[in-house]
Amino acid sequence: MSSTYLRDADNGYSSGRVYMRDQNPAFDQPEALITELEHGHETLLFASGMGAATAVFQGLRPGDHVLAPKVMYWSLRNWLMGFATSWGLDVELIDMTDPSAVQAAIRTGSTKLVWIETPANPLWTITDIAATAEIAHTAGALLAVDSTAATPVLTQPLDLGADLVMHSATKYLNGHSDLTAGSVTTRADNEHWQRVRAVRAQGGGTLGSMESWLLLRGMRTLYLRVRAASASAQRVAEHFHGHELIAEVLYPGLPSSAGHEAAKRQMSGGFGGMLSLRVAGGEQAAIAVAANTKLWKRATSLGGVESLIEHRASIEGVGSPVPPDLLRLSVGIENVDDLIADLEQALRA
């Protein structure tokens, strides 16, 4: 828990540590574990997923062109279109599910970073990581992947050609909804990575010692939790697909999903614990369904052991691309038959 470290008699630091902000020994184990899970070179922990994601962009230079998806985590989208553009980044939002759209938008020599999220919150669309990596690298750009929903249990983006993989570790990596944390893992050391390291060291957005331990504790059950949630989400999606009170089920594990084939190529062992339901009765019906659930908890966030339900458009507000009839579901580890029964009674209520 120490915030500072002793100098040696010769005024050096034989421990290799000077100050807790960037050299906390509590980081060593969780960073090493995430690096191993992602087959990467090195991982940095941050105080939140937003801290991790924004550090990747702050490692760029004003004037750099960036491609990001139209459908993505709403807070990061707002940051990109607000702070990042005012800071001087040239941010362009495109349809990342279409490789031809990426190819058309990328600028050789000017595009420095392509950012993708797959599956993408909250429509759970899929971007082909390998195909996008090839396009990015041909143009001289880095590819970064927000793999929060997939986790390293289901996808290893670095093995598919990505340069960086980011997690909101608040979600599945922790798995218990009792901390905020983020991580970025790199495939190789380079100039951009050194700037990301400097952003963390100088910006101060680092994790505390207790949170680092909690994250490590949570990752001990990562494979059990993610596999259980994925299997249950598949069951929930299949049950409500074609349901008379559901207009559409958004889940990459359904063969009818537009991204199903790409998901099969890059996801192994399941399609994740996140799905969305579009309620046939529209916005007010969707809100009423969430209000009538008993086992599903009405709360923001995802990836914990408890199942959460949320009317997402209400959270994102004006300008959100989320349909107003959409409910976002984070499937936990409760009995899946109970989860389905609870949704059924809420729909009929």
Q: Kindly state the percentage of the chain with pLDDT values over 90.
A: 90
CA distances from 171 to 100, 167, 290, 313, 331 (A): 32, 8, 21, 20, 12
Residue 94 lies in a domain: yes
Residue 7 lies in a domain: no
Q: With a cut of 90, say whether residue 160 has pLDDT above it.
A: yes
The CATH number of the domain holding residue 284 is 3.90.1150.10
Q: Kindly state the percentage of the chain with pLDDT values over 70.
A: 100
Last residue of a domain, one of 200, 219, 238: 219
Same structural domain, 50 and 133: yes
Same structural domain, 133 and 241: no
Same structural domain, 56 and 81: yes
Contacts of 12 (CB under 8 A, 6+ apart): none
The CATH number of the domain holding residue 49 is 3.40.640.10
pLDDT tens digits, 65-75: 999 999 999 99
Same structural domain, 298 and 188: no
Same structural domain, 82 and 152: yes
Exactly one of 77, 112, 171, 200 is catalytic; name it: 171
Mean pLDDT of 168-187: 98
Per-residue model confidence (pLDDT) at position 328: 98
Model confidence band, residue 8 (pLDDT cutoffs 50, 70, 90): confident
Residue 154 lies in a domain: yes
Catalytic residue check, 70: no
Helix or strand run (H / E) with residue 315: helix 312-316
Closest CA to 20 of 231, 233, 179, 208: 208
Exactly one of 17, 21, 195, 265 is catalytic; name it: 21
pLDDT tens digits, 115-133: 999 999 999 999 999 999 9
The structure's pTM equals 0.95
Last residue of a domain, one of 192, 219, 246: 219
Model confidence band, residue 51 (pLDDT cutoffs 50, 70, 90): very high
Same structural domain, 207 and 103: yes
- Phi (first) and psi of residue 4, to 5 degrees: -145, 170
Quote the domain boundaries for residue 264. Answer: 222-348
Same structural domain, 125 and 41: yes
Exactly one of 77, 112, 128, 146 is catalytic; name it: 146
Same structural domain, 203 and 232: no
Question: Do 136 and 142 meet the contact criterion of CB atoms below 8 Å apart?
Answer: yes
Q: With a cut of 90, say whether residue 218 has pLDDT above it.
A: yes
Cα dihedral across residues 212, 216, 217, 221: positive or negative = positive
Beta bridge mates, 68: 93
Per-residue model confidence (pLDDT) at position 320: 82
pLDDT tens digits, 305-335: 999 999 999 988 887 889 999 999 999 999 9
> How many distinct structural domains can be found in the chain?
2
Exactly one of 73, 77, 128, 325 is catalytic; name it: 73
Catalytic residue check, 171: yes
Contacts of 210 (CB under 8 A, 6+ apart): 1
Last residue of a domain, one of 175, 195, 219: 219
Catalytic residue check, 8: no
Per-residue model confidence (pLDDT) at position 256: 96
Per-residue model confidence (pLDDT) at position 43: 98
Same structural domain, 208 and 231: no
